[in-house]
Structure 1
Amino acid sequence: MEESPKNAQDNAKVQKSIGKKVLIFTILTGLAYFFGYIHYKYVSHLFENDRNFLFLSDLEREMSFRTEMGFYYSYYKIVVEERPFLAGIYKIIFDRLVEYPKDVNAFNRFNIIPEVIIGAVYRYFEPWLNSTQYKECHMVERGPGHSPVESCIGIGQPIFFYLEAIWWLSGLTVAALFLHATVLSQSILGGILAVIQYFANHAECTRVQWAPNERENLAVPLLLLQSWLLTLRLRETSKKKVLKLEIVTLLINIICILFWQFTQFIFLTQLAIFFVMEQLRIIDIKTFSLFLYSHFCSLHTAVLLLQGNDMLKCSLYTTFLITISVYCLFLSYLRIKIKNRIDLIVESWLVILRILIAVSLSWYLKKLFSEYLEIEEDSHVWDILYSKFTNYKTFHTLIYTCSEVFDFLQISSIINMTKSLLIPFVLLSCINMVFHWHRDSIKSCENEILSENTNKDNDESVVEDSVVVKEEKKFDILLLYLKNLRIESAVFYNISQMVVYGVMAALVMRLKLLFSTQMCLVSSLIVNKEYYLLPKSFRKYVPILWAIAIVPVLSELSKNVTKEMSHIGEFNDYPQEELLLWISKEATGAFAGSMPISATIMLSTRRPIVAHPHYEHLEARKRAYSVYKVYGKFTLNNLYYELNKLRASYLIVETKYCYGKSKKGCSFENIWDIEVPALKSNPKLCHTLLTEPVDHFYPVFRNQHYAVFRIHDFSIQYMPRSFDT
């Protein structure tokens, strides 16, 4: 039986459509992989240039992971080295090294899931990775006065495998950025522009090349994927595709929460934006409810996998999710149908009232949960924000705000992003979008009025004495305008998220990577011709305008890449290496010291420490407060009492913290003078320890940067008196 011509044509169209989709998918996937691979090679090369990592010993490589980096890497080292695998997991769940002598559940307290996953993958492939194909060792001369060291390279070496995973995640960041920008702008050129802007503003968008395993570097690529899926979801109408997108979004939500403790604040802003969108009727209640359900499931799953993380359970994200979920279930139908201006005014006030009630109730629930469960894990976050706008200062707020990355956003960052035309492109894109929505609404209003009048002309409403009298309908222009206003939800969400990130970055410079990356996304809208302000007759000149505009962008891209590639450094810290070797050979017991050196001691010597760099816990902040008293002006007995309570055996004093000065007034002497002004006239405790023999603290090691004191003299034996009867 021969196929009919009509069926043949339909089949040809279907095949052509499938072929087109396959071609587009192949091009997008290929470009995403290409851009991701370039970034992977770029950041790994910058990292090597900065530290000369290939020619360092294992100890030097671990020492180069300062503060939090070394702290997180130590858990990867446990997973890789402990035999069997479950022994490593047991050591993590019952960790007695990090807050000696307490048992700490590291899964519950710290976001170390990435280290466990990467470590488990390494263990699985270890038999192949230990072959000479993936691992090569050589001796490195270090100059006069220093013995040569063995340096092993290749992904068979655990630390290189760990970094390789991080570099691929940074490549995923750019790949996700390209895909998201392409979908948002509905143009491959938009995706390419976003990637160009990312590289042109690389120093503002990431610091993975300088601090590889900071939590934001692991979570940002996944947050970009999640945001891309949300954009797809807001534009999708097929129920089957919506379900698939919701499932994938749910899984990525869980991973984002597990990878970075700050994700809860980002998801809080997402909830707030979607709630406002529902109130403004940009999205319907069904879309909003599915979004909430995804967050509800991911939050509970993450809490379960984190084994009941206290900070997450009592977060504002959790309470806000509860509040607006209750609204969706019971109160969402209480909306006024707008028929006149009075209805509009009443509904506008109700929208404002509902938002205020949701925020107030969420805050109240958070305080209630925190007080009932006696949890104060995130109290420092609100203290830091409060200190930025007032004269309120404490030891803990100054520890943060004195660090450059927690300062306000610098003007230099704004200047750099303006030079690369990132900010002008974003502003022009936003103006174009607003004008586009306004223009479409006006056009729809005109069409509706014209259609209504045409219908009236055709209908004779009153006929008297062969005279036709027409009824003219009066239109309320404002109501008609709002009725026809169609704001694209995906674009509105991304622009709103950019504004929120901008506020975050202005308050905390460390978060500028979220803001600048989101700006790269929004700048891609400028390539969509549908949104141009120019009349159609002038659009033929757009390529010329683009050729002119892209020149300064490429110029800044070249300058930025050249500047970053020209940075050449080499890591070495012989005084710290000397200290660590001495500890490994001579000292046992718990160490008290600054957070950076404590993390390195735990990583490289496996000795217990009493304070650590993960500050997002009340107990950790109390312990750091006690240890850092050595740089204040307290009495020796007070310090001895604090360290004895923590059962520390050794105290490490660093000369840079004892005698260091700061232009911003951020030396530890300044911080303690603000914290305890009554002790200003006393001598510095660390100075006394370093210059005079004192009771309770016995010097056992000293070099140009570090001094170690044994807190108890174990050579003295105190025997009880006995009496003969």
Structure 2
Amino acid sequence: MDVHPRHRQRGSATSRGRTRTPHPGTESSQHRTTGASYLSPEHISLGSTLLIAAFVGVLHWSYVSTLFENDRHFSHLSTLEREMAFRTEMGLYYSYFKSIIEAPSYLSGLQLIMNDNVTEYPSVINTLKRFNLYPEVILASLFRIYTATMSVVGIETKLCWTVNRGNDLSPVESCEGLGDPAYFYVTLIFILNGAMMSLFYIYGTYLSGSRLGGFITVLCFFYNHGESTRVMWTPPLRESFSYPFLVLQMFLLTYILRTPTLGRRSQFLLCVSNVFFMLPWQFAQFVLLTQIASLYVIYVIGYIDSEKFLNILYSHMVSLGLCFILMFGNSMLLTSYYASSLIVICVIAKSRDFLKLEMKAILYWVLQGLIWILGTVALKALTSTILGVRDDAHIFNILKSKFTSYKDFDTLMYTCAPEFDFMENETPWRYLKTLLLPVVILVFLAICVSTLKDIITSSTQKNSGEQDNRGDRATSGELVYHALQLLAFAALAVLIMRLKLFLTPHMCVMASLLCSRQLFGWIFSRLNRPLFILIIVILMCIQGISNIQTQLNIKGEFSNIAQEELLEWIKFSTKPNAVFAGAMPTMASVKLSTGRPIVNHPHYEDAGLRARTKMVYSMYSRKPAKEVKKRLVDMGVQYFILEDAWCTRRTKTGCTMSEIWDIEDPSNVGKTPLCSILAKESLPHFFTVFENNVYKVLKVNT
């Protein structure tokens, strides 16, 4: 994790000073520089629908690729610069892809990352168990297959140039094409997210019952792109691999809720999509918890029958078990609220027929809700205690800190980062300007009114002795589910800003229901539907096109000379087994680009790693140098990379590292931070062996 805002070195479109010259013998020697009529969708065939879906997929792939290139000038960066551009967690994840492709064989590469003593020196860890690295494992196998195949058939896979960087910097080699590891890696990520956009179009079309709905979904996504995804800025993050499969999973779930019976094929596909969503991302379990909660609500109020509901739960259980096996027994999966909730709800659903009580429906619903909540919390606590797992304890503490004055070191490490703060006040205003928020509120209210009518009708039928016929209901179960899921995503986004990446795309899908005859047939009976939708689209375009232009106008060129000097010094002036400690983002770069052992890293989801990082970050506390040195020696650290920015930078009040440490170490409050002392004079406990305007490398005096 990056606990402070990412910085990007950006310039104007005319500030890019790089030019490049083709290497002799490459295939190309050219010099490169950078610098409707309305159609009713009901008359378009299924083939045309798939063709449109493919088109919007390619369009999104091209769009995010362009934004990524514009932001970094990626095509003109050297291998080292591209690795540095993968900051913090991104660099850590990419390092395992690099390890596998550079190993003598694919299997030896797998063996290497499954017995890794570099990431948390001196401990040996199975990174496949800890870090959700299956995307890198799959991409590395595809890369090795691709390059081997192209080599056999004699096709060049990359073109290389010598890039003149200007500003008295030395020239570097820059290669472009799928034969370059970094290019291959990001290209496949962008292709996957292009396919996600195709799925969004199909999803919106199916949910709304109109191809206009699919068009609205895609349009809203593009017009709110900066609120919907970060893939164009941070491609290696887990959400880039995982979220497209959540879209697939929710689309399949919509199909299952809409169809009368759940077939085995649908159940199998739901299970597979669950696995592909959970495997790449440790946070997926929390999203699926909100889904199970939403499904439980529609089950309780009678929109889904017990048999179908239980089959959905079984699919989730099987996929959870498969992920547990594939992640070599990752205990966080078994002790999650998601796993406990599945078991408790399954027991409730199985026992419902035996626990029918004579009470008002709403009281019965509340009772079932309380049983679920209390049972889930109790079972989660029990399994965590039995298995001795505390890796996700910080999640509860983060939520606790949102509503109380509670603070501790780990909580502040999260909440001091803007992406873990409450949603920005500007975010709803951005939704409003593109009309996304008004449209979704209208859709949500229409579902609520229709659902309330269903509940009243159902209650009346029950009181009069009539049979409740689900087929006569005005609202279908999948619409109620989507409304509840919207509430869940909204709650997550308000609490933690970065989670609006779930909320915004779901709002785009919900916007497709503006075209639903089921919800708004009473409007369409009075107004011309195509004309009504066209007016809405035109109003959306006013701000939406401006948002797209703003993104396309972001021009920059990645450059981090200070870190480049640091990494080059490490590679040429230290032994291959030299052990480093420092800020988490920097440690990821050190591991990726130099291969040196590190003792801490940015994947902050493990209790042991959090304890390690806390010990390392005592360098930024007010503790005596002798005490901090002893901690580092006990961890086997030989070099500490000191960064002044981590010593003095404050994202908000109480968020400098020394202030965070004051919560944990009140006995030293008021003293000068150790990092400030060592920035001036490192002796006698440390020797300064390298220094530039950003980094200072201290050798531990043992």
Instruction: Give the TM-score, by structure 2 length.
Output: 0.89
Q: Which residue matches 1:201?
A: 224
Q: Tell me the alpha carbon deviations over residues 361-388 of structure 1, each in whole angstroms, 9 at most, x when there is no partner.
A: 2211111111121110001111111111
Asked if residue 391 in structure 1 is aligned to residue 411 in structure 2, the reply is: no
CA distance in 2, matches of 1:503, 1:706: 40
Secondary structure, aligned partner of 2:423: coil
Correspondence for 2:353: 333
SS in 2 for 1:140: strand
The answer to whether 1:230 aligns with 2:242 is no
Work out which of the residue numbers 125, 128, 152 in structure 1 matches 2:146: 125
Is the aligned partner of 1:33 residue 2:54? yes
My pick for the range that moved more, 684-693 or 76-85, is 684-693
Match of 1:247 in 2: 268
Please name the residue that 1:275 is paired with: 296
- Provide the rounded CA distance (Å) in 1 between the counterparts of 2:524 and 2:590: 67
Structure 1 residue aligned with 2:436: 422
Q: Hey, what does 2:491 align to over in structure 1?
A: 503
Distance in 2, matches of 1:486 and 1:557, equals 33
Query: What are the within-5 Å matches in structure 2 for residues 457-472 of structure 1?
Result: none
Kept after mapping to 1: 8 A contact 2:580/2:597: yes
RMSD: 2.4
Question: Of the candidates 538, 544, 547, which is equivalent to residue 557 of structure 1?
Answer: 544
Q: Is the 8 A contact 1:441 1:481 kept in 2?
A: no
Matching of residue 304 in structure 1 with residue 325 in structure 2: yes
Deviations 1:540-572 (A, max 9, x none): 4x4443333222211222101100000101111
Q: Residues 616-631 of structure 1 correspond to what in structure 2 (within 5 A)?
A: 616-631=605-620
Hey, what's the Cα distance between the residues in 1 that align with 2:497 and 2:51? 34
**TM-superposition CA deviations, 1:610-650 (whole Å, max 9, x none):** 00000000011011101111111111111111111111111
Shift in Å at residue 440 of structure 1?
7.6
- Is 1:516 aligned to 2:497, yes or no? no
Q: For each residue in 1:391-429, what CA deviation from the matched residue of structure 2 results, as whole angstroms up to 9, or x when unmatched? A: 111111111111111111112110010111111111111
Partner Cα distance (1:551, 1:104) in 2: 55
Which residue number in structure 2 is paired with residue 581 of structure 1? Answer: 568
Query: CA shift at 1:495, angstroms?
Result: 1.2
Q: In structure 2, what is the equivalent of residue 148 of structure 1?
A: 171
Corresponding position of 1:220: 243
Maintained 8 Å contact 1:393/1:675: no
Amino acid at match of 2:514: I
**For residues 590 and 524 of structure 1, what CA distance do their matches in structure 2 show?**
54
Cα shift at 1:670: 2.2
Q: Secondary structure at the match of 1:538?
A: coil
Largest Rg, 1 or 2: 1
Query: 3-state SS of the aligned residue for 1:259?
Result: coil
Which AA in structure 1 matches 2:181? P
Q: Deviations over 1:119-144 (max 9, x none)?
A: 11111111244666320001011124
Q: Which amino acid aligns with 1:579?
A: L
Deviation string, structure 1 residues 263-302 (Cα, Å, up to 9, x no partner) = 1011111211222222111100000111011011100010
Is contact 1:697-1:712 (8 Å) kept? yes
Moved more, 524-533 or 313-322: 524-533
- How big is the shift at 1:21? 13
CA distance in 2 between partners of 1:690 and 1:33 (Å): 56
8 Å contact 2:622–2:668 — kept in the other structure? yes
* Residue 436 of structure 1, CA deviation: 4.4
Give the direction of change, closer, same or farther, for the CA distance of 1:605–1:186 in structure 2 (3 Å limit): same
Tell me if structure 1 keeps the 8 A contact 2:433–2:543: yes
| 2:307 maps to 1:289 | no
Cα 1:223/1:661, change in 2 over 3 Å: closer
**SS at structure 2 position matched to 1:273:** helix
| Counterparts of 1:481 and 1:354, CA distance in 2 | 20
Take 2:660 and 2:503, find their aligned partners in 1: how far apart are those partners? 31
What is the CA-CA distance between 1:335 and the residue it aligns to? Answer: 5.4
Distance 1:415 1:21, change over 3 A: closer
Contact residue 432 and residue 533 of structure 1 kept, 8 A: no
Any idea what SS the aligned residue of 1:245 has? helix
SS at the partner of 2:354? coil
1:655 aligned residue: 644
C-alpha distance in 1 between matches for 2:482 and 2:201: 15
- Name the structure 2 match of 1:488: 476
CA distance in 2, matches of 1:323, 1:659: 48
Q: 2:191 — aligned with what?
A: 168
- Indicate the SS of the match to 2:174: strand
Q: What letter corresponds to residue 548 of structure 1 in structure 2?
A: I
Q: How does 1:61-210 map to 2 (within 5 A)?
A: 61-129=82-150, 133-210=156-233
Counterpart-to-counterpart distance in 2, 1:686 and 1:440:
64
Bigger Cα displacement from structure 2, 423-432 vs 123-132:
123-132
Structure 2 equivalent of residue 704 of structure 1: 693
Q: Distance in 2 between matches of 1:611 and 1:562?
A: 40
> What residue in structure 2 maps to residue 678 of structure 1?
667
How far apart, CA to CA, are the structure 2 residues paired with 1:653 and 1:445?
67
Q: In the aligned structure 2, how far is the partner of 1:210 from the partner of 1:546?
A: 32
Match of 1:628, as an amino acid? Answer: Y
- What is the deviation of 1:145? 2.8
Comparing 211-220 and 605-614, the one that deviates more: 211-220
**Could you tell me how far apart the structure 2 residues matched to 1:235 and 1:280 are?**
16
Q: Does residue 1:547 correspond to 2:534, yes or no?
A: yes
The CA distance in 1 between the partners of 2:341 and 2:638, in whole Å, is 45
Match of 1:451 in 2: none
Change (3 A) 1:657 1:445: closer
Which 10-residue stretch deviates more, 427-436 or 263-272?
427-436
State the Cα distance separating 1:87 from its structure 2 match: 1.1
For the Cα contact (< 8 Å) 1:60–1:572, is it kept in 2?
A: yes
Residue 520 of structure 2 aligns to which amino acid in structure 1?
Answer: Y
Aligned residues between the structures: 657
Instruction: Specify the SS of the correspondent of 2:544.
Output: helix
The counterpart of 1:349, out of the listed 363, 384, 391, is 363
Worse overlay, 633-642 or 671-680: 671-680
Secondary structure at 2:353's aligned position in 1? coil
Deviation at 1:539, TM superposition (A): 2.8
TM-score, structure 1 normalization? 0.87
Residues 435 and 533 in structure 1, CA contact (< 8 A), matched pair in contact too: no
- Other structure's SS at 1:562 match: helix
**Matched-pair contact (CA < 8 Å) for 2:450–2:474:** no
104 and 442 in structure 1: CA distance in 2 versus 1, 3 angstrom threshold: closer
Identity, % of aligned positions: 36
In the alignment, the residues of structure 2 paired with residue 501 and residue 143 of structure 1 have an alpha-carbon distance, to the nearest angstrom, of 47
* Structure 2 unaligned blocks of 5 or more: 1-40
Letter in 2 for 1:314: T
Contact 1:441 1:485 in 2 (8 A): no
**Cα distance in 1 for residues equivalent to 2:189 and 2:544:** 24
| Equivalent-residue separation in structure 1 for 2:638 and 2:147 (angstroms) | 37
Partner of residue 317, structure 1: 338
